[in-house]
Structure 1
């Protein structure tokens, strides 16, 4: 961005007005030199002295100052562009004259001269610290070899077998030579795995010839040929080609290309054309950190390498950290627990474990304890440390991608990062290069995200229903790398009470539940260089945090990103208009925020405004002044009455999440303006991908007229229409297969007057359908399909998720008489097409629905308040057109809420269910159902029992739950878990030998934990909440040898903790929430009577 503004015509005219043309040219040259110097410093980070690091900070500060000044100038130019007529120079003079800012213009020109002098001086100092404006390539990694001792590699047996299977198994490809790519982050052991495979005896017998080439960043066909020929130098490429052809032609060969970085299809194609000379069954193994390499090489066989298992990580660590035969076997040895914590920090990455384990060999306990508290990235020295290995991937990124990656240091470890949020943050910070083609900056952001994902900087990517990547995470080590390369510019903290360097540029915090202290406000006011102020909000967190926004808006003038989710009490100060550098403003989930100050429209650079889940009643009248606005999000702004006039002038707006058509409080003029925008501009801004239309409380005729004019572009993927009161749909909505054939998701909510829905079953791409609050519809499809019985119907060919909520009159999918077919004997029967791909089904409050089509691939079913005679597994009166019998053949999850009978839900095909949730069940005895269907519940791993008033015993249930891992029992008022006089009940609990999580909530009959619970040796988490008659925790509690988390919530009769808790070394967390006064007193640190029993627990929480 700096270079773009420096070359702008407007800046040159401004400097010309005051005779600073030459200063501007000098500034361009200096900025170019500094850019080259900064590139050179990156490759010398490990060798920098304190003075060198300080020099880099001064250099970056100067560049930021240039950016700020030019951004200020650019903002002024934007104001002039709003004036009508005249050449640019006249506009500039008129603007400064009219605004009485001639002095400002002079000062800005003078500042350019001063900045140029300052930058020149700093740039000249580069040689003093050994920096150059000529980029020196990074030192290459050492070449790898094919040999490896199998004894030194632990935990890769399964991976080796998988790769060997790919190499010697039958190929599904038509090529003579197949490529198998091993992909993963640095340090996972890709080369070691390839070495294991290369030296495997099965492989040696399967191939005529085996070759190993370490490629690294030099993907040059000539060099690869030289290495294939044993390092032969000096030959011309034609001679090398002849010799390689002679070497491999007709032979079944194995070639390993280790550490490959090239993603160029041309380079790969030139190599592959020669390798195809090999015999049938030849294979090429490629190791790389980039998934794109796998795609270019041929990703039909890609193996994504993961970390070691916890067991193998510990075994590898023991081998390196302890003398053979002296490894600790259990927690009695003081090194055992310390070592376990250290290994945990290594996040199952073999390289990390090797570095740490080798350092600790033959060291005393103090060294171990110090290493336990050190950041993993600080461990090791020089090339033997972890950081250089990971940085190698970073150095291969372009400067723009480096900026994008380092900015990710804002997020905490294990944080789920939303892709669109990340791209908008990059955009706000100017990290995205201006595209030189027809693409938008957002398209560039999508490309950058994809590159970082394919190169393993991101992982665990999640797709939305439309098939687009929506979320991702960062591996812990990659996150450490981001923190390292971000340096002192970026701080991520848990509390704003910490002391910060005034020079930081980007600040994120996860603080919860308190107001800022005066000292903290003072500290914030001094952080004048801050460009990012970002509150990280975890999805599960609902905590509010009140912030003094006057401090921020008055002092932090350089902000580009201001993220204030759940931070505002009720108002935004007028001084927000002073933040003219601001690009990104997030005010979401501030529900008490009613009004935005009109001064917000002074922020001409604003690109993103997020008002989701706020209480705003109207948008500022002058919104049309935000000419750069790209994204306006107003999801769930239920109090917003209408849209402001002039939105059609926001020609850069490419995302508007909702359009409020207005209500009776709007004047007629506003309504006309908004209608024009809806009818014309919504289509003009096509092609939209996502569209939500929510109607206000007008009459049916207005709704029908509005919806007719709101026909979206035919490329729409996702549509949501809410609160529609029309009696009929417009033509485009009735024939969606023609008007919107690419729809992937449909969400129709609160259609109170409609009696006939549009035909949906022929939408070939539809994956998700939700119908909610449609009061008068009796059948989903108005017409049936009459076909010969032997034909298959095309019926929702791609639908995976179906939710029917509150359809009180729904009787079925269609009227049976319209779907009759005639068989061979002339008898009529009913054709019921099946859902071929449906995986998730939710039926809530559909009391008259008694039959449902077959779903052979169904995995999850949730039923709430449905007819007890609902047929889920097909009916004898119905003839499925799919030979697969049964609706729930592959069912894994079943949620039942307020259903009268359970028998109808358990058919012959209900085997293998893993998650069973039963709520508000008042039918027959659950024990009887369990006895009758024991084989169906023996596979259950997660069980939830909630508000089952007739449930009084589990004695006939638990003995069948042999696979159970998680059990939650809540608000079952009459349940008695154990009769103390019946020993047989004690032994029944032994069946739950795999149970790892147990929650007991709202059980008034529970006075003591059943003795049988002592057999839960796999239990890791025990939560007891709202059991008001629980008298004490048992002395056998230490029998729960795996217990890590214990939570006691509002059990007021519990007066103390047992002595047994002092002998539970595995216990890591103890939560005593709203405990009785006596228990709080006894557990108080340091003089409480029970404190010695619990002081060994690392995390103790008291919440009152």
Structure 2
């Protein structure tokens, strides 16, 4: 019997959801909204396959370990804080996926009993501290993904057990050994090279890797070696750039360096490599044009040695900035013509004034480009005609000091940038003007017709471009991020037109402004954007005062994020955001005051998060005015020692989370007045020793989670106190 829920995001599972389906063998909840797994799931004694990602509750019922025939279990992306201690009782389990479970901190001691486990995915478990001993017993494991943990793997312990996992085919270690010493990383990889069955090894984004052992050549079955983002990798062993061992390598980060005689470089080794990802650094070390010039393909046709490598999907050329060079960068780049099938292309550190012929005719040579990045091209005074790339989706331009204007030549004709979705302009200190429209030709008596640049743009990021002005109107985009670029905020509208003059207006906008020193009432850009529904203001000054016109622009904001540093008082205009539903506040001030009565009109506010208020000593008095508030999260407020009494008036509050509030020594007795409270979570508040005597008054409290509060956990386990919390249906105390 198979049960699969299709397009059921709005359906929640009840406590008796599976009580009548005891013959079920396959259960797929991947398209269902899962608040929590019901206890009745333990009645599915025949269940072999359970796909239940994105569980929204901290607790997974212990009774799940009674599913003795379970072979496949997927809990990826869930909010669960721990696996059941008895997880090792699932003796038939072969596939376990808990990737992206960012609240899990450790695996239970019984984990090593899962002897039949073949597939284990622990990637992106940001809080997880991997215990090598728990992995050492998994001798049948074939797929192991430990990528992107919150902390680097313990290399010492991993060295002891990795050699035992002889059945491994896939090993994911992306960003997993980033904090190890270079010698530690080298020795660990050398030990990995004893795994003769290994086919795919992901070592990407590990800054600890400076070199690879020659023993990697022993991995005869290896077809994919991913070294993307290993930015300090000095060189590759010769075995990785020989034809017989690199035909199927996924990624090569190749460091160009002078050969022993200093008369030539090693770039010729790449003639036999054909990876999907190729990053060539140190191009200033090319000694002559002969090393990169064209090679003979037929008697009639000559081409670059890279042009024929059609397997390459990503290609990056990098010169070390300010380094001396034997060959001009333009000449080197002219000889490195990429394959026409290339999708992603990046140039960094190029120091010539102009580009070679193939870059200036990029539509002809690289028509399939999807993403382009140009960084640190400090002498280039004009941009290549990227607007004619028909498939370009992302464009990243940064540190191009000689560029002063972005204009018509960037588009180079009609229908420019038809598919561009993301644009980043960063650290371009001399960029002064961006002409956001262009002429797309003659149309009879109408003459020249203007079109807005980037008609499909979704996200625009502008960072540290202090002189930049956009004329005559802002481009059309849904998401805006502006940092350290005050002219962009203030200069819009100089031409008297908006992007709506040239293209249909968007329904809403998401805006983030960082590090602005300009007073809020001068942010004219906001007047020319669609309705702003999501606004983040990070480390900006001059927020206290606004204008009636700007308040009207902000009146439809539903989500607001404020990171304050210069004022104790919240801005008065905050109380005028009638539709505000979510508010996040961070401050480095000792208090967080608001003008009297200014917040009482926030009748739509449902969620408030105070986070990283590291010297805040008491919750603000104005909290009591938020009578419609349903969720309150107070995170990482390490000096907080008092919950203000005004909070007792939060009669609609359903969720209260306290995390890393280490100076709170007791919860107030008025906590029992929060009659609507359904969920209480206390984490890493080590000074709290007990719950208040009023806790039994919380009749609607269904979920209690206490983690890393040792004295409070001990209090809850005393017999006389168990009665006080017996009415709470779900209790997770560890």
Shorter-chain TM band:
0.7 to 0.9
Partner of 2:272: 649
Contact 2:452 2:502 in 1 (8 A): no
Counting only pairs closer than 5 Å after superposition, residues 814-829 of structure 1 correspond to structure 2 as none
User: Take 1:1097 and 1:544, find their aligned partners in 2: how far apart are those partners?
Assistant: 37
Counting only pairs closer than 5 Å after superposition, residues 220-235 of structure 1 correspond to structure 2 as none
Find the residue that maps to 1:957 and give its secondary structure: helix
Residue 966 of structure 1: which of 572, 576, 582 is its match? 582
Contact 1:993 1:1015 in 2 (8 A): no
Partner of 1:742: 368
Partner of 1:863: 482
Contact 1:849 1:870 in 2 (8 A): no
Deviation string 1:129-177 (CA, Å, 9 cap, x unpaired) is xxxxxxxxxxxxxxxxxxxxxxxxxxxxxxxxxxxxxxxxxxxxxxxxx
Q: Which of the pair is proportionally richer in strand?
A: 2
Deviation string 1:828-854 (CA, Å, 9 cap, x unpaired) is 999674442222221111111122454
Runs of 5+ consecutive residues of structure 2 not aligned to the other structure: 21-26, 53-70, 80-89, 99-105, 260-264, 297-302, 692-708
Residue 703 of structure 1: which of 329, 332, 336 is its match? 329
Contact 1:779 1:810 in 2 (8 A): yes
Counting only pairs closer than 5 Å after superposition, residues 738-817 of structure 1 correspond to structure 2 as 738-781=364-407, 783=409, 794-813=415-434
Residue 195 of structure 2: which of 579, 591, 594 is its match? 579
Partner of 2:714: 1085
Runs of 5+ consecutive residues of structure 1 not aligned to the other structure: 1-45, 47-184, 189-304, 323-343, 354-368, 391-407, 417-484, 787-791
User: Take 1:729 and 1:834, find their aligned partners in 2: how far apart are those partners?
Assistant: 23
Instruction: Provide closer, same or farther for how the CA distance between residues 387 and 515 of structure 1 changes in structure 2, counting only shifts above 3 A.
Output: closer
Deviation string 1:530-569 (CA, Å, 9 cap, x unpaired) is 433332546xx45544364444454333322222345544
Partner of 2:665: 1055
Contact 1:723 1:750 in 2 (8 A): yes
2:343 pairs with 1:717: yes
Contact 1:607 1:631 in 2 (8 A): yes
Instruction: Provide closer, same or farther for how the CA distance between residues 1078 and 729 of structure 1 changes in structure 2, counting only shifts above 3 A.
Output: farther
User: Take 2:394 and 2:329, find their aligned partners in 1: how far apart are those partners?
Assistant: 25
Deviation string 1:689-741 (CA, Å, 9 cap, x unpaired) is 43222223444743212211121223333222112112221011112233223
Residue 850 of structure 1: which of 469, 489, 496 is its match? 469
Give 1 or 2 for the bigger CA radius of gyration. Answer: 1
Instruction: Provide closer, same or farther for how the CA distance between residues 889 and 611 of structure 1 changes in structure 2, counting only shifts above 3 A.
Output: closer
Partner of 2:703: none
TM, length-normalised to structure 1 = 0.50
Deviation string 1:239-285 (CA, Å, 9 cap, x unpaired) is xxxxxxxxxxxxxxxxxxxxxxxxxxxxxxxxxxxxxxxxxxxxxxx
**Structure 1 residue 495: Cα displacement:** 2.6
Partner of 1:533: 144
Partner of 2:107: 495
Counting only pairs closer than 5 Å after superposition, residues 639-1038 of structure 1 correspond to structure 2 as 646-650=269-273, 653-661=274-282, 680-686=304-310, 688-697=312-321, 698-699=323-324, 701-781=327-407, 783=409, 794-813=415-434, 833-852=452-471, 854=473, 857-868=476-487, 873-876=492-495, 883-884=501-502, 890-899=507-516, 900-902=518-520, 903-905=522-524, 909-910=528-529, 912-923=531-542, 925-926=544-545, 928-929=546-547, 931-950=548-567, 952-954=569-571, 956-971=572-587, 973=589, 976-978=592-594, 982=596, 984-985=597-598, 988-1002=599-613, 1007-1013=618-624, 1015-1026=626-637, 1028=639, 1030-1032=641-643, 1034=645, 1036-1037=647-648
Counting only pairs closer than 5 Å after superposition, residues 322-721 of structure 1 correspond to structure 2 as 372-373=38-39, 375=41, 379=44, 412-414=75-77, 488-491=93-96, 495=107, 497=109, 498-509=111-122, 514=129, 516=131, 520=134, 523=137, 527=139, 529-535=140-146, 537=148, 541-542=150-151, 544-546=153-155, 548-552=157-161, 554-568=163-177, 569=180, 570-571=184-185, 572-573=187-188, 574-614=190-230, 615-624=232-241, 627=245, 629-633=247-251, 646-650=269-273, 653-661=274-282, 680-686=304-310, 688-697=312-321, 698-699=323-324, 701-721=327-347
**Structure 1 residue 865: Cα displacement:** 1.7
**Structure 1 residue 583: Cα displacement:** 0.7
Q: Which of the pair is proportionally richer in helix?
A: 1
User: Take 2:329 and 2:201, find their aligned partners in 1: how far apart are those partners?
Assistant: 33
Deviation string 1:475-505 (CA, Å, 9 cap, x unpaired) is xxxxxxxxxx995443557637423254544
Contact 1:1061 1:1094 in 2 (8 A): no
Greater shift, 619-628 or 913-922, is seen at 619-628
Deviation string 1:35-75 (CA, Å, 9 cap, x unpaired) is xxxxxxxxxxx9xxxxxxxxxxxxxxxxxxxxxxxxxxxxx
Find the residue that maps to 1:934 and give its secondary structure: helix
**Structure 1 residue 754: Cα displacement:** 1.1
User: Take 2:290 and 2:159, find their aligned partners in 1: how far apart are those partners?
Assistant: 38
Deviation string 1:960-1002 (CA, Å, 9 cap, x unpaired) is 22222221222263874247xx5x35xx335243322422443
Contact 2:276 2:313 in 1 (8 A): no
**Structure 1 residue 606: Cα displacement:** 0.8
Contact 1:974 1:1005 in 2 (8 A): yes
Residue 1070 of structure 1: which of 653, 657, 682 is its match? 682
Instruction: Provide closer, same or farther for how the CA distance between residues 489 and 676 of structure 1 changes in structure 2, counting only shifts above 3 A.
Output: farther
**Structure 1 residue 808: Cα displacement:** 0.7
Contact 1:379 1:386 in 2 (8 A): no
Find the residue that maps to 2:462 and give its secondary structure: strand
Partner of 1:11: none
**Structure 1 residue 943: Cα displacement:** 0.7
Contact 1:506 1:530 in 2 (8 A): yes
Find the residue that maps to 1:813 and give its secondary structure: strand
Instruction: Provide closer, same or farther for how the CA distance between residues 187 and 1018 of structure 1 changes in structure 2, counting only shifts above 3 A.
Output: farther
TM, length-normalised to structure 2 = 0.72
**Structure 1 residue 643: Cα displacement:** 6.7
Find the residue that maps to 1:861 and give its secondary structure: strand
Contact 2:91 2:115 in 1 (8 A): no
Greater shift, 908-917 or 1061-1070, is seen at 1061-1070
Find the residue that maps to 2:585 and give its secondary structure: strand
Contact 1:894 1:917 in 2 (8 A): yes
Instruction: Provide closer, same or farther for how the CA distance between residues 410 and 546 of structure 1 changes in structure 2, counting only shifts above 3 A.
Output: farther
Report the count of equivalent residues.
647
CA RMSD of aligned residues (A): 5.2
Partner of 1:7: none
Partner of 2:702: none
User: Take 1:990 and 1:775, find their aligned partners in 2: how far apart are those partners?
Assistant: 48
Find the residue that maps to 2:584 and give its secondary structure: strand
